[in-house]
């Protein structure tokens, strides 16, 4: 797995989802102007990033199982 670039791509996509989620939760917890302006956009971005990450995970599993 260490030599597999797709594994690193899956890890990066998963990390991106985590970062977006934490920024969204942090903004929600603080409230205020940032939350009003960016909460919806961040959650939509998180859902899109999650879809990409899940697609990459499924591709990774499919290719490693021999298709």
3-state secondary structure of 13: helix
Using the CB atoms, write b or e for 9-48: b if 16+ within 10 Å: ebeebbebbeebbeebeebeeeeeeebeeeeeebeebbee
Do residues 2 and 21 share a domain?
Answer: yes
Domain residue limits at 43: 32-66
> How confident is the prediction along the chain (67 residues), in pLDDT tens digits per residue?
778 899 999 999 999 999 999 999 999 999 889 889 999 999 999 999 999 999 999 999 999 887 6
Do residues 25 and 41 share a domain?
Answer: no
Do residues 18 and 39 share a domain?
Answer: no
Do residues 18 and 40 share a domain?
Answer: no
Do residues 45 and 56 share a domain?
Answer: yes
Query: What's the pTM value of the predicted model, to 2 decimals?
Result: 0.85
Number of compact structural domains in the chain: 2
Residues with Cβ within 8 Å of residue 9, at least 6 apart in sequence: 56
Do residues 61 and 44 share a domain?
Answer: yes
């Amino acid at each position: 797995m260490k030599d597999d670039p797709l594994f690193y791509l899956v890890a990066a996509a998963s990390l991106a989802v985590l970062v977006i989620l934490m920024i969204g939760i942090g903004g929600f917890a603080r409230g205020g102007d940032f939350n009003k302006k960016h909460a919806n956009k961040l959650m939509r971005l998180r859902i899109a990033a999650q879809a990409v990450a899940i697609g990459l995970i499924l591709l990774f599993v499919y290719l490693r199982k021999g298709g």
